[in-house]
Every structure is written in structure tokens, then in C-alpha cells.
Structure 1
Amino acid sequence: MSPLARAYLEKLENELRKLPEEERLDAVREIESHIAEALRHGQSESDVLAKLGDPRKLARAYRNEHFMQMGSGRNFGDVLRMIGFYCTTGLLSVMVVPVLATIAYGFGFCAALILLAGIVRTFGVTWINMDIAPGVSVPTEWSMVYALVVGGIVGAIAYFSRKYLRKYLSFLSEQYRSALPSGKR
């Protein structure tokens, strides 16, 4: 078999790494024998690999088949954990993760900019405005204090958002692990 086919099979095996070893090896052997048989019948290797398609998609089909076959062997507790996992993490994650990440990193960046603006304005750069309210500006000599207070508040929001983002991602990982069938943890 050529290096191209070997690379295809290696990528397929890598994509199937979540399956039990025996099933992963069976799938790779099945595709390897399919390629060898097609070559014996006169098909070109590039045509055979093109017909098989992307190894990631092929691996996904094998994984789906595996989990569908396992479905009949799941106990009631496994099914309830799986339902709980999808109910608690599905749509909620689509909203929570991007919002917390945006707040955490956006506010963190803004806190750094606020502190930098306070330092620069303290040394006499007049084009940086620090207004408390419309028409009420912070005096230049108080720029650093103002920047520390506002930057600290914004930085604290960023810190807690990042902290709770990490906790939420840990929660998702734990929920995923508990949703796996009993024998696969």
C-alpha cells in the first residue's frame, strides 16, 4: 500500500481514538481491505480514497454506528445522565460560553487600556478625556487614581467572568464524563 493510503488509514485511526481499541482496529482493517480489494480490481488508489471521502467523516460514521449499537446496552441511569447532560448543556452553552468569554477577555483588555490611559494622562497628554458625567472631567492630577478605581472595577468583572467561565467549562466536562456509559469512564 502506498504512503498516501497509509496516511489515510492513520488519520482514520486517529479520528477513531475514542472507540474501544478492538472496534477501532476492526474499522481500520475493514477500510484497508476495501482499499486492497479495489486495487486488485483495477481501480486507482486516488479514486478509491476519493470515494471513501474525508477520513474524519468516515470516522464520524463509525463512531455514530458504535454509539447507536451501544444504545440498546445502556441502563436506565446512563440514559438519564445523557438526557441531563443535553438538557443542562445544550442551548445554555451556546449562550453562556461566548458571553462569559467576551466579558472576561474584553473587559480584561479594557482594564489594561484604562490603566494605560491613566498613566499617560497623568504625564500631561491632554487629548485623553476622563469624564465622570457630561461636562464634568477628572482633573489631570487625579487621572491615575480614577484609572485605578475604574480599571480595578472593570478588571474585577473580567477576573470573575474568567473564573466562572472556567468553572462552567469544568462543569461541562464533568457532565460529559457522567453522561458516558458506565463502562467507558
Structure 2
Amino acid sequence: MSPLGKAYIEKLYAALSKMPEQERLDAVREIESHIEEGISHGQREADILAKLGDPSKLAKAFRSEHFSHPGRKRTWGETFAMIGFYCTTGLLSVMIVPVLATIAYGFGFCTVLILLAGIIRSFGATWINMDLGPYYTVPTEWSMAFSLVVGGIVGGIAYISRKYLRKYLRFVSERYQDLLPADRK
């Protein structure tokens, strides 16, 4: 491999720094073998590197693939790295990901609190207020029904936000994975 190819591989390796070392090495080896295979089939190394594109974008594609595996157990560090990855994929992601995540998980937590408040107030806790306006307070015997309705609305908003957050993250991952070499797909 020429110095140009080695420099490309070094940039790719550096850009993959947020991935676990074994997966980082696997990605680099894969690209090295892709380059060597192309050269053995008569392609010029410069053409192969041009097709692969910018090493930092290729690294994002590998990181996207790494983070998008469903059902994988993640450490807290990997979770924060994944959040950082998706928030840095573009200006739109900087707005969409935090807003939808806050709505989804904040409203989900509030749903639980609303339902608990309805249960506790049903048993006579007068310190929990359920007002529909300045002049009307929900009667104690209607507390559970009221909390089910309000909790259902808030929970529905949380569910929809979470659903569309997952769709958006899947969409971003797929776009980045389109940057991977064709033999990888």
C-alpha cells in the first residue's frame, strides 16, 4: 500500500477513536482489504480512495453501524457516545434528537407521576391538587379517572415522540451506512 493509502488508513483509525478497540481494528482491516482487493483487480489506489470518500465520513458510517445494533447491551459511556454521535450528525439532529428525547422520556416520567398522584389522591391525600381552572377542582372520587385521562394523553405524547425519535435515528444510521463500501452491505 502506498503512503497515500497508509495516510488514509491512519486518518480512518484516528476518526474511529470513540469505538471499542477491537471493532475499530476490524473496520480498519476491512478497509485495508477492500483497498488491496481493488488494487489486485487492477484499480488505481487513488480511485479506490476517492470512491471511499472522506475518512471521517467513513468513520461516521462505521460508528453509525456500531451504535444502531438493536438489543445490544451498552455501558453508560457507550450510551453517551451514541447520544453524542447522533447529536453531531448535522444541524437538524442537534435540534431533533434532544427535543424528541426530552419529550419522550420527560413525558413518560410525568405519566407515571400523574398516575401515582391519582392513586394517592383517591385515598384522600388533600395536598395533591387537581384543578381544571381557577374555579373548579376535580372531586376526590374522580381523581383516578382524571389521572387516567391526563396520564393517557401525556403518555401518548411520550410514546409518539419516542417512536419518531427511533425512526429518525434509524434514518440517520441508514444514510451513514450507505457510505460503507458496497461489498459490506
TM-score in terms of structure 1 length? 0.57
Q: Give, in whole Å, the separation in 2 of the partners of 1:121 and 1:127.
A: 8
Residues paired across the two proteins, number = 122
Deviation at 1:23, TM superposition (A): 3.6
Structure with the larger RCO, 1 or 2 (CA within 8 Å, 6+ apart): 2
Following TM superposition, where does structure 1 have runs of at least 4 consecutive aligned residues deviating by more than 4 angstroms? Answer: 11-14, 69-72
Q: Give, in whole Å, the separation in 2 of the partners of 1:74 and 1:174.
A: 18
Residue matched to 1:16: 25
The aligned amino acid for 2:120 is V
Q: Give, in whole Å, the separation in 2 of the partners of 1:133 and 1:71.
A: 67
Residue matched to 1:120: 120
Over 3 Å counting, the alpha-carbon distance change for 1:161 and 1:142 in structure 2 is same
Among candidates 53, 73, 79, match of residue 50 of structure 2: 73
Deviation at 1:21, TM superposition (A): 4.4
Residue matched to 1:5: none
Over 3 Å counting, the alpha-carbon distance change for 1:13 and 1:165 in structure 2 is closer
**1:78-116 CA distance string (max 9 Å, x none):** 89xx7xx9xxx5111111111111111100000010000
Over 3 Å counting, the alpha-carbon distance change for 1:168 and 1:121 in structure 2 is same
What's the % identity of the aligned pairs?
61
1:139 aligns with 2:134: no
Residue matched to 2:102: 102
Deviation at 1:72, TM superposition (A): 4.3
Residue matched to 2:176: 176
TM-score in terms of structure 2 length? 0.57
What 5-or-longer segments of structure 1 have no aligned partner?
1-10, 25-68
Residue matched to 2:92: 92
Greater radius of gyration (CA): 1
Over 3 Å counting, the alpha-carbon distance change for 1:103 and 1:22 in structure 2 is closer
Q: Give, in whole Å, the separation in 2 of the partners of 1:144 and 1:123.
A: 10
SS class of match (2:129) = coil
Deviation at 1:22, TM superposition (A): 7.7
CA RMSD of aligned residues (A): 2.9
Q: Could you say which structure has the higher helix fraction? A: 1
Deviation at 1:172, TM superposition (A): 1.2
Deviation at 1:151, TM superposition (A): 0.3
